[in-house]
Chain A
Amino acid sequence: MLRDISFSVEPAETVVLLGPSGCGKTTLLRLVNRLENANRGTIEIDGENINNKSKESLRRSIGYVIQDTGLLPHLNVKQNIELVGKICDNEISEKKVNELLSLIGLEQEVLLKRPSELSGGQQQRIGLARALATDPEIILMDEPFSALDNITRSQLQDDFQNLTDLDSKTILLVTHDVQEAFKLGDRIVLLYEGQIQQYGTPLELLNKPANSHVEAFLKKDKFVLGLQTFKYGESSLLNFLNAQEVKAEDKKEAMEDFFKQIH
């Protein structure tokens, strides 16, 4: 049950819907492509109420990636990607398929394989390729990396970050993984019990938690998150470390670990 939800997303922004399970983040995402129906309230895209369009044409204009990939098991990779074009009467050329494939970093030979013959990571890449096939401006991603093992997950997260094609897309990504949210999100919507607790950049959430719920949710990962804020500049990392009540040697050790990691 979602209540009092109100936020806006800028074009080309990646906004993460973060929260513990059962907080309503997936429901919120599915309201956007009308897989769920809202009892009250409106959602607008470019100022137009999404209820003004048919469900099908709304969904065709939005990419959708889910945890279990939802690839059709009886079709091969190529057919899976082409099917998106088929249902919107917008044929996807061979060239486009190959482009998508190189974009997500897979070889030609996977094209004729069934999803079940691919690894989890490969399947999820195909899922992303399928969502990008019709060049939608908006992409909804529901826990896209959660089913993967740690190594594959961080690989995919890195690739996701580095995909320049995604820079121009407006992305809503659902996760329960705090570190993933901080790594990928431009801004984060932190949900708890159906309500928005805080909407802000990762730094804002970390440094100025709006309430005790936010603080409690970030607490466990706080130190690692602090290190991650390094991406916003070395000074912010030092500021963060200085603000922490940590012994000087531990700080030094943490810094060394961190630099080892990134090199």
Chain B
Amino acid sequence: MNFWNFIISHLDEIWSQTVEHLVLTMASMTLATLVGVAVGIGLTRAEKLSNPVLGFVGIIQTIPSLALLGFLLPIFGIGVTPAIIALFLYGLLPIVRNTYTGIREVDPAVKDASMGMGMTNFQLLRYVELPLAFPVILAGIRTATVINVGVATLCALIAAGGLGEFIFRGITLNNQQMILAGAIPASILAVALDTGIGFIQRKPTSLRTWLLLGTSSLLILIGFLSSGSVTKSKLIAGFNSEFIEREDGYMGLDSLYDLPIEIKEMEISLMYRALHNGDVDVIDGFSTDGRIKEFNLKSLIDDKKYFPPYYAAPIVNALVLERHPEIVTALNLIADKLNDERMAELNYLVDGKKMELSAVASTFLKEINIYADADAGSSDEPDVVIGSKAFTENFLLAHIFAQVIENKTSLKTKLELGFGGTKLIFDALRLGEIDIYPEYTGTGYLVLLQKSAKDVSDFTNPDVIYNDVKKEFAERHNLHWLNPLGFNNTFAIMMRTNQADSLKISSVSDLSDYLKSK
């Protein structure tokens, strides 16, 4: 599909994202202008405060935009509100500073003559200082607007919409056209706003025209926001960008179950809290995430077996097995010892209770009568190197592997934790940089073998997939899948337990029925 086809087929979405983007920028800029100009004027009347206040808004500006969004999340949750607040804070500095400087730089003779005429403080502001500082103030608004069009793309990460949705989806899926579909309109928007304000700057208009313009844009904005807050469906879903766009994500789910639901796009790591806070009602989580327990969430049963199985198992380089065959016996001791719920609890001990990974690993092993040393995995001359991907569950499993091996064999192990991606850790294993890591059958099948649902008889049968990857990995890569650990960390559609219970929803089909009912 070429770029133009992509644009044309996504025109509706590009348009609605552009409008969202414009609304985010304009709402925050209207606020920032009102507050910034007021603060700037205040500073000219209380000179002593000018240094501390300008310093303070300057510091806000230096906070990385993502971090600022992060700070606001616990207070304002996700969505348009924290996004507008963050953009508002970003817009403040140029406006406050330019208002202050602009007013201070009004010709003292003009002020003197005006005061000599008998102007009150307010008349001086209205007839002299504001009109004369106007071009400088407008230049500040202009700078802030252009900055904010850029920063507003980040707001897609907290479900505030805007052109960032395309950009981040494009990055996740490595789709250049999609990135451009977000980036180009954002650039056009920035240039257009910049030119527009520049035009006003050169063509002085009366204060009344400005007030009129300001109020009308505010009214349009309020109108837009209030119409936007009337939700079209009964429940709101928060899905991450990859899930929305992938054919084996929401699209396939919708065509199998029929789920007419309004979707907000958001970062994976934010979804659980968003669901917990009631910002959304349905998310696509992972079935063993620790936050399911922490936030009292419920995974809906995938009664039509849509999601592929993601059973975790150690995969091992064949060369190591030749040298140290006892590894297999050791790791088989933990085979089938975990289920979804238990794994979620262990994850919760780390994420929620902030316990050490090694301590949680040995706690688990103790339950199955393996009294391992929590310090395992730190040898300088290791016989076996154990890797992991960069998330809690994978960290934990790597620790468990190390402790079992050191306890049940005489081998020394070393942990290499936190590989940034599936492809990276897989290559490390093939090249012998690491010897073992925990992998999931679904990932092995879809991502590493690049096979699709149609390539096997029963895609949703865990044993079929496990046997397929086991066979193919051994043949193609000389890598061995050991016995699965017993839990399935697959995608799961989740809701708040109390809401799901009160609506009598326990499976995805129930959810579909509820959404379709009047």
Q: Is B204 an interface residue (CB 8 A)?
A: yes
CA distance A225 to B118 in the complex (A): 37
Point out the residues of chain B lying under 8 angstroms from A68, CB to CB: 107, 109, 113
Chain A stretch 37-76: residues in CB contact (< 8 A) with chain B: 55-61, 64, 66-74
Would you call B114 and A60 a contact (CB within 8 A)? Answer: no
B113 touches A64 (CB 8 A): yes
Q: Which residues in A have their C-beta under 8 angstroms from that of B123? A: 87
Contact A59 B110 (CB under 8 A): no
Q: Is B131 an interface residue (CB 8 A)?
A: yes
Between A and B, how many residue pairs show CB distances below 8 Å?
66
Q: Give complex CA distance A71, B113 in Å.
A: 8
- Mark B112-129 against chain A: 1 for CB-CB distance below 8 A, else 0: 111111111001000110
Report the count of interface residues on A (CB-CB < 8 A). Answer: 27
A66 and B119 within 8 A (CB): no
| Interface class of chain A by DSSP | mixed
Contact A74 to B132, CB < 8 A, known contacts A57-B118, A87-B118, A87-B127? yes
CB <8 Å contact, B110 and A56: no
User: Closest approach, in angstroms, between the C-beta of B117 and any C-beta of chain A?
Assistant: 6
Bound form: Cα–Cα A160–B204 in Å: 36
Closest CB in chain B relative to A211 CB, distance in Å? 33
Please determine whether B113 and A70 come into contact, CB atoms closer than 8 angstroms. Answer: yes
Rounded to whole Å, the gap between the CB of B137 and the closest CB of chain A is 13
Q: Which residue from B113, B118, B127, B132 sits with its C-beta under 8 Å from A66?
A: B113
Measured CB to CB, the closest approach of chain A to B130, in angstroms, equals 10
A127 to B113, CA, bound (A): 9
Q: Please tell me if the beta carbons of B112 and A56 are within 8 angstroms of each other in the complex.
A: no
Any chain B CB within 8 A of the CB of A14?
no
Instruction: Provide the residues of chain B in CB contact with A58, threshold 8 Å.
Output: 118
Additional 10 contacts, C-beta under 8 A, given A68-B109, A70-B112, A74-B132: A55-B118, A56-B119, A66-B116, A69-B113, A70-B109, A72-B114, A73-B107, A87-B119, A87-B123, A87-B127
24 A-B pairs with C-beta separation under 8 A: A35-B115, A35-B116, A56-B120, A57-B118, A59-B115, A59-B118, A60-B118, A61-B118, A64-B117, A66-B109, A66-B112, A66-B116, A68-B107, A70-B113, A72-B110, A72-B127, A72-B131, A72-B132, A73-B110, A73-B132, A74-B131, A74-B204, A87-B118, A140-B116
Sort A-B residue pairs by CB-CB distance and give the 8 closest, nearest first: A70-B113, A64-B116, A60-B118, A68-B109, A59-B118, A70-B109, A56-B118, A70-B110
Footprint of A on B, CB under 8 Å? Answer: 107, 109-120, 123, 127-128, 131-132, 204
